[in-house]
Copies of this chain bind each other. A is one copy, B any other.
Amino acid sequence: MAANSPFISDVPAAEALAAWRDACADAGCPARVEAVSVALESAVGRVTAESVWARWSSPAFDSAGMDGIAVRAADTVRATETNPVLIDPEDFWAVDTGDPVPVGYDAVVMREHVHLTASGQAELRAAVPPYQHVRSIGEDISANELLLPEGHRLRPVDVAAAAAAGATELVVRRQPRVVIIPTGDEIRPIGSEPKPGEILDTNSLMLAAQAREVGCDAEVTGIVADDPQLITEALIAAASDADLVILIAGSSAGRDDYTARVVQSAGTLAVHGVAVRPGHPVVLGVVDGPVATPVLGAPGYPVSAALTFDIFAAPLLASLEGAAPRERATTKARLARKLASAIGSDDWVRVRLGEVEGEVVATPLPRGAGVLTSLVRADGLLVVPSGQEGHHAGEQVDVELLRGLGEVGRTIVAIGSHDLILDVAASRLRADDPLISLASSNVGSLGGLVAVRDGLCHLAGSHLLEPESGEYTLPYVDRLLAGGPEIAVIRLVHREQGLLVASGNPTGIAGIDDLAQPGLRYVNRQRGAGTRALLDFELDRRGIDPSSISGYSREEHTHLAVAAAVAAGRADTGLGIRAAAQAFGLDFIPVAWEPYDLVLRASVADDDLLAPLWALMARPDFQAEVERLGGYSCEEMGRRIR
């Protein structure tokens, strides 16, 4: 026990990792997991625990490199085109590729260059240099040669080469074993229907899968209640049969203090809190026991938990195997918008990547530690180091790739207003051709037009109403995109907007005029969203003051989020599309039909990348599927209106 050991906090990740490693070494944690001898086919993916030297040579004999005949080069020296040499049948041997070259013979002549006479002699019309088409013994591998060093993660070609050199088993590190302990009174197993305040144990599932992905054996224990005594017992029990224990701290802000105290009481607390966002409340330490065991206290927020695994667990586990951690490829990308970052922490920003007219562009995704979908949707990670305040829009940045650049290059990037149809189209395109992706980011109609202007996306969904003219989208295109490259505007659908209300319309509202009723709770869309512009237009022509509407300042970013708030009883109504009401079983009070268009550079519209989208939009079955969602008319789908 080292209950009073000093620990460090709020230090950079590299320093924290080093302090953890030192604490592990001091406490006597094994530097490597044990070496075991395994059959070749079980060795793939494992790490060599000793050097692999060739037992024998491959090929193990001088062999023919071609189908033909083996000869003595000296017998052929006088052969020319005009004066062929004839070799008697007892002085050459027919050989196939791979056959041994018989003793006394030193060259092979290709079958195509040999003419056999009626008497069975071989007629050669050119002299043959010694060792022609002979694969020397050991051409591939010499006996006693170093084939693979210790600490090498074995791939299929490695085990095949080891087999060729005489190995039947290899000495490798066994898989490290990771035990994961979920904790928290509010945590419920996956499969339960969570009540308000309860959270599903998705972190254990994720961390176990991450551990398996880096080649470990992983086990998840039962959920442990928020009781230091119980958690300590669980920790000590897990440590007795693990190479690393991960204790998931629950999502409450103070929970890591809890974990830290438990770790300190069970061994050594090395680090409490690191200068990484998201991920700050990390606990690193060691559990005492007959064999000391490293313990990682992971934060409960899922993005923090996932990144914590990458930053701390993965390098430690790789060391235990004696190998370098897997690394991600990187790319340069142009940053789509300004990115502010607080000094003092490495900021791990998830970004979406797109290749637009030959340039890779990175768009930051939501940064909350609880927004797991930001990792799901991310194509890459951009780390803003702790000493830096962020990046300007347009700056070139280095991005760690989570998807291949080729796949990024085959992705249609939509930034702008979001509509369900884009999701339906994304799924249909992918189902038809796995090589095509359509990724859409929701920043509202106005944000989409700016993204088109700045070359950050292929297309923008837009349904922006100009109050003065009552016209949609085109006036904004004229204003925002004038002077740039030629712009195309393609009609996707007409769709119906209205007020979403709970089933049965309990507040009894009839339309926009009722939104200022006292006590009515509205939920709004963000500035720049077409639906927000529509609301403002409708309020303005009725002379209703927005500030009289309770909840006008509560902003959600999608139709579905508005519908979800109404469905959960957190708001009484909000403006949105009929399809969103239908998805949540809400009632719908119609307000207006509006066109929803795709805005893009004309050059991009002609790009091969977009052809499958245009083809899909022309398909009657797709149009029928869209109209079944409710509140859509596909009559003009695909019409180029500019």
Contact = CB atoms under 8 A, between A and B. Distances in A.
Given A200-B164, A376-B157, A553-B130, A194 B564 contact: no
24 contacts: A57-B564, A60-B568, A61-B197, A63-B197, A97-B251, A98-B186, A99-B252, A130-B553, A131-B553, A131-B554, A140-B373, A141-B372, A146-B426, A150-B427, A156-B207, A156-B306, A157-B376, A160-B372, A163-B200, A327-B404, A327-B407, A328-B404, A329-B404, A329-B405
B161 A197 contact: no
Nearest to A194: B60
Contacts of A373: 140-141, 147, 161
A103 B401 CA distance: 42
Interface string A395-435: 00000010011110010000000001001101100110011
B205 A41 contact: yes
Across the A-B interface, give the 8 residue pairs with the lowest CB-CB distance, nearest first. Answer: A329-B329, A156-B209, A160-B206, A146-B423, A142-B560, A144-B583, A327-B404, A96-B252
Contacts of A205: 40-41, 156, 159-160, 163
Interface string A113-157: 000000000000000011100011111111111111111100111
Contacts of A551: 130
Contacts of A370: 59, 65, 135, 139-140
Nearest to A323: B434
A28 B152 CA distance: 43
A179 interface: no
A325 B136 CA distance: 37
A196 B58 CA distance: 11
Contacts of A98: 186, 197, 199, 250-252, 300
B254 A564 contact: no
Contact of A254 (B96, B147, B199, B252): B96
Nearest to A213: B156
A190 B209 contact: no
Interface in A13-56: 40-41, 44, 51
Nearest to A375: B157
Interface residues of A, number: 128
Contacts of A65: 370
Nearest to A368: B139
Interface string A526-558: 000000000000000000000000010110101
Given A67-B253, A190-B40, A139 B569 contact: no
A497 interface: no
Given A163-B202, A564-B138, A564-B143, A407 B324 contact: yes
B560 A138 contact: yes
A613 interface: no
A338 interface: no
A341 interface: no
Contacts of A356: none
A631 interface: no
A567 interface: yes
Contacts of A136: 556, 561, 565, 570
B142 A564 contact: yes
A561 B163 contact: no
A437 interface: yes
Contacts of A206: 156-157, 159-160
A264 interface: no
Contacts of A568: 57, 60-62, 137
A632 to B, nearest CB: 15
Contacts of A561: 136-138, 142
A375 B162 CA distance: 12
Nearest to A440: B146
A564 to B, nearest CB: 4
A278 interface: no
A225 interface: no
A484 B469 CA distance: 73
Interface string A66-84: 1100000000000000000
Given A96-B252, A206-B160, A373-B161, A44 B212 contact: yes
Which of A140, A203, A435 has the most chain B CB atoms closer than 10 A to its own CB? A140
A252 B67 contact: yes
Contact of A431 (B146, B199, B322): B322
A13 to B, nearest CB: 16
Interface in A241-270: 250-254
A158 interface: yes
A376 to B, nearest CB: 5
A461 B435 CA distance: 47
A62 B570 CA distance: 8
A634 interface: no
